[in-house]
Structure 1
Amino acid sequence: MSRPLRTLNQVWSQLILSRLYARGVRQVCLAPGSRSAPLVLALVELTQAHPDLVVHSHFDERGLGFFALGLSKALTQPVAILTTSGTAVANLLPAVVEARHCHTALIVISADRPDELLGCGANQAIDQRQLFGSQVLEQLSLPTPDADSAFEHWLPALDRLLNQAGPVHLNCPFRAPLYPSEAPQDCVMALPALPAFTLSRSMPRRAQADVDLATPHQTLIVAGRLSPSEAARLLEYCQHYRLPILADLNSQLRLHPSEWVIHYADLLLNNAHFVQTLNRFERVIQFSGQLISKRLLAWLGTFNGEHLIVDGQRDYLDPNHRAQQRQQSLPDFLRELAALPLGWPPCAEVVAALQSWNKRAAAQLPALIGSELSEISAVTRLVQQLPATCRLFAGNSLSIRLLDMYAEPALAYPVFSNRGASGIDGLVATAAGVAATAVEPLVLVIGDTSTLYDLNSLALVNRVAARTGQAILVLVLNNNGGAIFNLLPAAQLGALHRDFFQCPHDLDFAAAAAQFHLAYARPTNLSELDEQIDRAMHPGTATLLEISVPAAQSTEQIRQINRHFAQLTAGGA
């Protein structure tokens, strides 16, 4: 039974959260705080009326924000975050930035001090009204609940904010009393009736690309970030029309064993003969953006044919500023193509050459990677060992590049990542949020610096594994700092490279795993890695496996492999 409403704070909080529920929000994440007490107590009331509303709590707002991001990515639903006032809100900025650039719907609801407590030295009082700036699609600061201010007056603005398809910020100032026990017990208020919420997604559109798709150009497909359902539709289309696909790891196709997927394009782009083969195409159709491979982006920047990017969002996605872009969903675009009378007759010779190059790479890579434990052999062995129902989260920096370059096609696991702004923060928390949405095992491949940056979120990993009964494996690639800088011009700076770019820490993660109650192992060879991966897949187990390697090992191996592929002749292709 719900408690009587004794304050305007209670009334407004229940109206706000009821509106979120009407919008379709079924996951709410909160961090502790007193100024947000009216919202938290209203949320508890709402869960009693709606058992399908799930509430998650965490002590660290930065981790909480990324956890909510993972939930929203995996569920493709809006997720709300409740925080108290002050720096608690500011800690959400990194997650909001990532959500903005990967078009993920986060609804930040921040409690705030009333206006009279701003700019006068009051405790935990900052100006929160424009805190996220351009990183949110819309922001709304409600007035402090007052008898002279009707909530219904703000309803159109609130509904407009909730209709956005990306991160938004709702700021909610409250005066005391914050708790019903502090209010007069003889005061009882009623909730006003509100009109039904209407979901509307009208958005401004970019000018559409003027491309004659009926012209039968020789066409190459580039697949950027896609959902599993989009990937399945694209693969079906390309198999039917015999079109090759250069697949990014985030396309959900990079690990698919289809013969129409060119899995090793990043490596093969080291080779001038392979580039000549690509240059024989007349048109590139690219689905979505944020490609991992710098070499692929560089080639697209030099491609002399027609380059069209198709994406459902309005953001422009070509850092080379050469491509035309069409704002259209992948299914709608493919339906339009299927209705064309001519289709795109493939050049069998060119397609066969690409497939031959891809097979050569697959055949030669195992020997180049070798049988010793390294970061590269660890990620390739991991992909081969995982069960068919697994989900994979790729950390940023070197981790995702190793998977994109070297992973052997396997069982087409669903792949998640934070490639909107591509930061190294919040990766553990985001992976935990993804894990919380299902019971299938989840594996996070992450670097050592990224893990240190988000160490608190190992608590979320342990909690999610215990609650859902799933296996969660955190595979930490520990090269003692930012080894990726070994591949950049910073490596030529001598001691400056070590002290100001690589920043070695000389730490391991055994004690951290123990602190957060994760199983731990540090395999020393591939056989031990195989054994530990099998153990980590036991239901309800949260495991941290640490791969410790010298700082320069992987980057030197990358250079050697690149040199090998650069020297291949065209004769075998």
Structure 2
Amino acid sequence: MNTANRNTLWASIVAEELYRSGVRTVCISPGSRSTPLVIAFAELRDRYPDFQILVHIDERSSSFFALGVAKVQMAPVALLCTSGTAAANYYPAIIEAYYSRIPLIVLTADRPPEMRDCGSGQTIDQINIYGKHVRYFFEVGTPEIIGFRLRYLRSLISRTVSIAVGKGDTPAGAVHLNFPFADPMPPLPVPTDVPEDLALSSPEAMFGNPSGGAYSQILAGMRSLDTNAIAAIANQIISHPKGVIVVGVYDAPPNFLTSVQRLARATGYPLLIEATGAHRRGEIGHYDSFLRSPNFCKTHAPEIIIRFGAMPTSKSYMLWLERHIGCQQIVVGSTNSDPTHGITQALNVYPVSFCDQLANYLENYAQPVWQDKQWRLDFELAESIAEHTITESLTKIDELFDGKVYAELAQILPADSYIYVASSTPIRDLDTFFHSDRPITVLSNRGANGIDGTISSALGAAWGCDHPMVLICGDLAFYHDLNGLLATKKYNISLTIILLNNDGGGIFNLLPISKFENTFEEFFGTAHNLDFAPIIQAYDCEHILIQDWQHFHTALTSSLETKGTQVLEIKSDRQRNKELHFSIWNQVIENCDRHFPEGS
């Protein structure tokens, strides 16, 4: 413990209690007011080699980097910044953490109360600055070195971490602690600040939990339904053989895929999986394509849908669901996740145990005579038609087309690789065109669906794991977070970035607004005409402009085996991309409509 003055001891206890509560990484941005906590973290790292500190000049990049680390490691990550607008730059990442349930411990330094609202520099109102987007906020108060206050501090820190990881009454997410500090900021000795007998008079305050663990702990079990509730759901399934199990955008818990596949077998329902949901080899992954078929959608009305994760990205799935809005929906693991506002049962349970409970009940207490085998076979046939149509169409495309990038990537990426995919067009194209037989983990910032912080999030994820990592993003998402590239230069992070550059907002070309030519390009297309190569090289990253598909194969294979960050830029034409997308979708629609005639 650093006992130079009240600030250093206070901050030392904060750092130690965070470590004891499971925090192993902190992302720090420079500033004066946060000095006591910076010094405390630096001293903590000297004592515990597994404690990591990463310094980011830009607070927005820092927060998204922390988000990426927390997402890939499924562990809480701390953020620290100085007072003023520095804290405001965390807000977009905190919003993402709220909606995607990622644990962030946000520590903002502040001036003491007497220096607020009086014209003092670098001071804003930081109380509840993040509003409802944090799971917990507390104004910590100025340091006071007495036993009771130090015990309060230890209790506050450890309890706050428990809330962040979802052990409290709310799901995981960001928590915010505001730390006011008066001078001195550096560890200058102030002899009267720390009582000499503090260790004897209040050993719990000075040394924490004697066991070495967190001072205050929250223990949480796995929420599950009782047998009667499971039986009621099982009876719904038996009464509704035309059901579907859907895995939408989802950071799935361990063993989820095995359990949900078992449930699919027990129910006889087809299992539809989004690329960001789980590995979908052998399951239904092309549903966004074949649900564009009017005939299939009309002749295949679901009676019940069991969904895990957020609503799928697919617009055609949403339209199919809205067309049959009378269908009973069961949403597992979320209490507010149905933008269609249909007839919904929300189950606040642990998804893996729910799958196992329900599958076990059906396997042991019901004969599968209720299952509609033709229903599942139809989905499997539609899957096969869509897959074959898309594959055949792509083989005929020799030009650099965004959609084909994902199909080529699926052939090259080794097992256990990671993909971080940007929002907008990339996440949709990944869902349509990326289908690998090898287990690949897909990460994305789909809580709020924004493009901000994409590079930083991917770099954080790449830093936080030891598997090959590929980021796929469009040019606008890339431009939006160029500052994030500084981290790869500073920490020598290995990441392959596939930059799909169609000079503007390509997704808008696929939307009805593209028909309004007078205003489209200025307000939606937003061409930037940027040459990214010199910017990329300024951050000591390698830039490779892809010439053709053979060049892409060679460059990607080399990048996956090379240290550092390489940017593989693929330039394409937005209008041509639109034409190729609709050509493929129309072919899928035609083939599905032919196999599923309206009168069948």
Residue 358 of structure 1 aligns with which residue?
383
| Inter-partner Cα distance in structure 2 for 1:172 and 1:343 | 61
Task: Judge conservation of contact 1:209–1:324 (CA < 8 Å) in 2.
Answer: no
Q: CA RMSD in A?
A: 2.5
Q: Deviations over 1:72-123 (max 9, x none)?
A: 1111111111111111111000000000000111110011111121122211
| Inter-partner Cα distance in structure 1 for 2:132 and 2:231 | 30
Task: Judge conservation of contact 1:140–1:158 (CA < 8 Å) in 2.
Answer: no
Residue 312 of structure 1 aligns with which residue?
333
Secondary structure, aligned partner of 1:546:
strand
Q: Deviations over 1:236-265 (max 9, x none)?
A: 443565431111111123xx321xx11111
1:146-545 paired onto structure 2 within 5 Å: 146=144, 150-153=149-152, 156-164=155-163, 165-181=172-188, 183-184=189-190, 190=198, 192-193=205-206, 194-195=208-209, 196-201=215-220, 212-215=233-236, 216=238, 217-218=240-241, 219-224=243-248, 225-227=250-252, 229-239=255-265, 242-253=268-279, 256-258=280-282, 261-279=283-301, 281-303=302-324, 306-314=327-335, 316-322=336-342, 323-337=344-358, 338-340=360-362, 341-342=365-366, 345-369=370-394, 370-464=397-491, 466=492, 471-545=494-568
1:155–1:313 distance in 2 versus 1, CA, 3 Å: farther
1:361 deviation in Å?
A: 1.4
| Inter-partner Cα distance in structure 2 for 1:23 and 1:416 | 26
Give the letter aligned to residue 150 of structure 2: F
| Inter-partner Cα distance in structure 2 for 1:562 and 1:298 | 16
Task: Judge conservation of contact 1:231–1:251 (CA < 8 Å) in 2.
Answer: no
Q: Deviations over 1:275-297 (max 9, x none)?
A: 14531x42211112131111112
Q: Deviations over 1:355-393 (max 9, x none)?
A: 111111111213323232111112221122111231111
| Inter-partner Cα distance in structure 2 for 1:304 and 1:187 | 66
Q: Which moved more, 1:219-228 or 1:163-172?
A: 219-228
Residue 111 of structure 1 aligns with which residue?
109
Same amino acid, percent of matched pairs: 30
Secondary structure, aligned partner of 1:214:
helix
1:306 deviation in Å?
A: 4.1
1:188–1:286 distance in 2 versus 1, CA, 3 Å: closer
| Inter-partner Cα distance in structure 1 for 2:26 and 2:393 | 47
1:509 deviation in Å?
A: 1.7
1:366–1:462 distance in 2 versus 1, CA, 3 Å: farther
Secondary structure, aligned partner of 1:25:
coil
| Inter-partner Cα distance in structure 2 for 1:566 and 1:53 | 54
Give the letter aligned to residue 264 of structure 1: H
1:304 deviation in Å?
A: 5.0
Give the letter aligned to residue 500 of structure 1: F
1:201 deviation in Å?
A: 4.5
1:68–1:569 distance in 2 versus 1, CA, 3 Å: closer
| Inter-partner Cα distance in structure 2 for 1:93 and 1:304 | 36
Q: Deviations over 1:430-489 (max 9, x none)?
A: 11111112221100000100000100111223445x36xxx4100011111111111223
Residue 9 of structure 1 aligns with which residue?
7
| Inter-partner Cα distance in structure 2 for 1:101 and 1:490 | 28
Q: Which moved more, 1:156-165 or 1:47-56?
A: 156-165
1:210–1:398 distance in 2 versus 1, CA, 3 Å: farther
| Inter-partner Cα distance in structure 2 for 1:367 and 1:204 | 46
Q: Which moved more, 1:149-158 or 1:295-304?
A: 149-158
| Inter-partner Cα distance in structure 2 for 1:336 and 1:239 | 14
1:481–1:209 distance in 2 versus 1, CA, 3 Å: farther
Residue 129 of structure 2 aligns with which residue?
131
Report the TM-score, using the length of structure 1 for normalisation. 0.92
Task: Judge conservation of contact 1:371–1:377 (CA < 8 Å) in 2.
Answer: no
Unaligned runs of 5+ in 2: 164-171, 200-204, 210-214
| Inter-partner Cα distance in structure 1 for 2:583 and 2:389 | 13
1:17-166 paired onto structure 2 within 5 Å: 17-146=15-144, 150-153=149-152, 156-164=155-163, 165-166=172-173
Task: Judge conservation of contact 1:9–1:145 (CA < 8 Å) in 2.
Answer: yes
In the alignment of these two chains, the number of paired residues is 559
1:569–1:100 distance in 2 versus 1, CA, 3 Å: closer
Unaligned runs of 5+ in 1: none
1:569–1:204 distance in 2 versus 1, CA, 3 Å: closer
Residue 202 of structure 2 aligns with which residue?
none
| Inter-partner Cα distance in structure 2 for 1:170 and 1:343 | 54
| Inter-partner Cα distance in structure 1 for 2:432 and 2:469 | 21
1:527–1:239 distance in 2 versus 1, CA, 3 Å: farther
Task: Judge conservation of contact 2:224–2:353 (CA < 8 Å) in 1.
Answer: no
1:163 deviation in Å?
A: 2.3
Report the TM-score, using the length of structure 2 for normalisation. 0.88
Secondary structure, aligned partner of 1:249:
coil
1:233 deviation in Å?
A: 2.4
Residue 166 of structure 2 aligns with which residue?
none
1:308 deviation in Å?
A: 3.0
1:303 deviation in Å?
A: 2.4
Secondary structure, aligned partner of 1:212:
helix
1:343 deviation in Å?
A: 6.1
1:199 deviation in Å?
A: 2.4
> Structure 1: which 4+ aligned runs deviate by more than 6 Å?
202-206
Task: Judge conservation of contact 1:362–1:408 (CA < 8 Å) in 2.
Answer: no
